[in-house]
């Protein structure tokens, strides 16, 4: 019976409203005082039932809840035959709970949208080669799946055949379709806008990126921040204090109506709901913008950051070496680049891949007599010519004369943080290339936005040599730069900032070697394209490794913390105003107080919901 009543709260609220309106209309239009009284009595009893049940259930676990305050107040009003007060108070309390639940559901719309995007079926290749539609739960790692235009990709996997463009907004937050072909990686929950592809399943079910996003957001929204736990403790002790205060007022004044009114006006409903709604709305906004905040606890520290420490490779830089500078010597450069490409395609070194990408389409020649010089490079014969590709030491070994101009170019390239690739043909220098990891597009502007948001120190730590790290630091305007650092050196640096200097530190990284620092920092921020270990260890994940989401994440947590404080001030201010009005004015009564009280709950909820529309101003 109790369960049925609680499930029917909204229906009871509606019936109570009808009874109250009907009662007042019968009094005003027909002067039927008896009908008026009966209608309000029924409304009071109906409205009190779910409130009293909730109060009883709280008492069973030794919690004095707000529902108990309202129950005592309504019973008191009922006993002194103030049926107007008892009926209106119960209705307003139930109606406030209805509005609260309705608006809270809206703040959870981000996770609801995510779960609705989850694929339910897949076209799986059977033993006879035919594709049959099955539930997504029946797909295993290694299965081959067919995805047609307009369908959702059911798994994380690799494209085997076909081409198409996929909308990855559910994963990255970006609505621009991404081209996919054989060898491309695709994510569950994304939509194939056009084309047809076959995909081999690499991750299925809850192990997919999409499944992990849903799990992380659900955990985050269900967690409680330090502020929420404080409010819970506050409400636990505040409610008995209001009860005692009400009793003391009655004891001295013998005014039962005044004592009951204090119970109603003292309900801290807005205080209890204000902080959670801010947190949930903030986390929901982050999910919509490709930022996973793993719990309300993250918001407090993140909003008060002093220092952000960055790993360099894959965070500030793209993580893929590419040719940054080139210098050519002599004639027939097109033919020379063909020779260089022919030699470099024999190597799997990262610098070789960068050189091949820079050269692009060219004419390849047969390569013979290849000799790998340890710590130097490669020497080979191409079209009867002796070609050497490597560093300055290899050029010296091959007795290649470097002119004063070439030596000045070498020095300049090294100062710019490049790894050098030199190429000679028959003892004559032809090509000088500088290869380095390029800074991510837009990072400098994003770092400036972080400074404007109040971050005092921006630090880069890297295992690269100090010269390369200093170059990145100068280009980006960072506060500090430290090179030649092992993983343990990075975590020791973060620990020193926190323990010795008392700073609130965020660490941004993407690799397994970043995991100790991510775990040790006040806030660990992982790039979504990084390793699983880094993502699991972190407190915040930037989906699609989009560095540009970091300023939005910081601005969002600051706005959420600010919104939380606003809600606390509104809630406490309203309670103090109501009690002061009751004690020092004649116009305040129980019904007006309850109306203002429920209005304050609606105000803090609507204030919290503003966070759903938050966007960082550029």
DSSP H helices, 80-193, are 83-107, 109-117, 169-172
Cα–Cα distance measured from residue 275 to residue 29, given in angstroms and rounded to the nearest whole number = 45
DSSP H helices, 61-82, are 66-79
* Residue 311 designated active-site: yes
Please return the burial class of 176, using the count of CB atoms within 10 Å of its CB with bins 0-12, 13-18 and 19+: exposed
In this structure, the number of other CB atoms found within 10 A of the CB of residue 135 comes to 12
DSSP H helices, 459-503, are 466-476, 487-499
Residue 457: its H or E element: strand 457-461
In this structure, the number of other CB atoms found within 10 A of the CB of residue 383 comes to 14
Scanning the structure block, which residue is given the tokens 């099955």?
Answer: 134
Q: Which of 67, 156, 301, 311 is catalytic?
A: 311
Cα–Cα distance measured from residue 157 to residue 370, given in angstroms and rounded to the nearest whole number = 38
Asked whether 35 and 59 are in contact (CB, 8 A), the reply is no
Asked whether 388 and 378 are in contact (CB, 8 A), the reply is yes
Closest CA to 305 of 454, 502, 444, 480: 454
Cα–Cα distance measured from residue 531 to residue 515, given in angstroms and rounded to the nearest whole number = 9
Cα–Cα distance measured from residue 241 to residue 10, given in angstroms and rounded to the nearest whole number = 30
Asked whether 298 and 557 are in contact (CB, 8 A), the reply is yes
Locate 373 and state its tokens: 């010089």
Asked whether 448 and 547 are in contact (CB, 8 A), the reply is no
Catalytic residue annotation: 311
């Amino acid at each position: 019976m109790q369960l049925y009543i609680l499930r029917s709260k909204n229906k009871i609220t509606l019936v109570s409203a009808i009874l109250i309106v009907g009662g007042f209309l019968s009094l005003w239009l027909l002067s039927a005082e008896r009908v008026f009284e009966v209608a309000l009595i029924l409304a009071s009893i109906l409205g009190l039932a779910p409130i009293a049940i909730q109060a009883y259930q709280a008492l069973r676990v030794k919690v004095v809840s707000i529902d108990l305050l309202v129950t005592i107040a309504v019973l008191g009003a009922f006993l002194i035959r103030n049926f107007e007060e008892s009926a209106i108070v119960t209705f307003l309390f139930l109606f406030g709970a209805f509005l609260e639940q309705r608006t809270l559901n809206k703040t959870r719309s981000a996770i609801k949208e995510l779960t609705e995007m989850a694929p339910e079926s897949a076209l799986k290749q059977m033993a006879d080669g035919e594709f049959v539609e099955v539930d997504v739960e029946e797909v295993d790692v290694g299965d081959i799946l067919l995805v047609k235009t307009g369908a959702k990709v059911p798994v994380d996997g690799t494209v085997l055949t076909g081409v198409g463009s996929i909308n990855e907004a559910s994963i990255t937050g970006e609505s621009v379709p991404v081209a996919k072909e054989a060898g491309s990686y695709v994510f569950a929950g994304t939509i194939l806008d056009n084309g047809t592809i076959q995909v081999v399943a690499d991750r299925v079910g809850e192990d997919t990126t999409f499944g992990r996003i849903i799990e992380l957001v659900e955990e985050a929204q269900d967690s409680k921040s330090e502020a929420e736990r404080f409010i819970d403790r506050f409400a636990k002790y505040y409610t008995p204090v209001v009860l005692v205060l009400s009793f003391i007022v009655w004891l001295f004044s013998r005014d039962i109506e005044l004592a009951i009114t204090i119970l109603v006006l003292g309900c801290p409903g807005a205080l209890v709901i204000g902080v959670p709604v801010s947190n949930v709305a903030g986390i929901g906004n982050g999910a919509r913008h490709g930022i996973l905040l793993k719990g309300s606890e993250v918001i407090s520290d993140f909003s008060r950051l002093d220092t952000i420490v960055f790993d360099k490779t894959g965070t500030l830089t793209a993580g893929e070496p590419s040719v940054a500078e080139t210098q050519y010597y002599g004639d027939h450069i097109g033919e020379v680049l063909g020779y260089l490409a022919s030699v470099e395609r024999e190597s799997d070194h990262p610098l070789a891949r960068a050189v091949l990408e820079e050269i692009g389409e060219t004419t390849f020649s047969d390569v013979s007599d290849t000799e790998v010089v340890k710590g130097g490079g490669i020497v080979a014969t191409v079209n009867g010519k002796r070609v050497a590709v490597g560093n300055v030491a290899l050029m010296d070994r091959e007795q290649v004369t470097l002119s004063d101009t070439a030596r000045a170019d070498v020095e300049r390239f090294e100062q710019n943080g490049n790894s050098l690739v030199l190429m000679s043909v028959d003892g004559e220098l032809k090509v000088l290339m500088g290869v380095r990891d390029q800074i991510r597009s837009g990072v400098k502007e994003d770092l400036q936005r972080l400074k404007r948001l109040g971050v005092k120190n921006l630090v880069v730590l890297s295992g690269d040599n100090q010269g390369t790290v200093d170059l990145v630091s100068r280009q980006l305007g960072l506060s500090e730069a430290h090179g030649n650092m092992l993983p343990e050196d990075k975590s020791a640096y973060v620990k020193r900032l926190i323990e010795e200097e008392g700073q609130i530190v965020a660490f941004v990284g993407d690799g397994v070697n970043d995991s100790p620092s991510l775990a040790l920092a006040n806030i660990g921020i992982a790039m979504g394209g990084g390793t699983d270990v880094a993502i699991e260890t972190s407190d915040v994940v930037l989906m699609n490794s989009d560095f540009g989401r970091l300023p939005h994440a910081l601005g969002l947590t600051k706005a959420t913390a600010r919104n939380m404080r606003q809600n606390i001030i509104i809630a406490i201010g309203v309670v103090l105003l109501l009690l002061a009005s009751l004690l020092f004015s004649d116009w305040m009564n129980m019904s007006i107080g309850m109306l203002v009280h429920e209005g304050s709950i609606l105000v803090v909820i609507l204030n919290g919901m503003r966070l759903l529309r938050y966007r960082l101003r550029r």
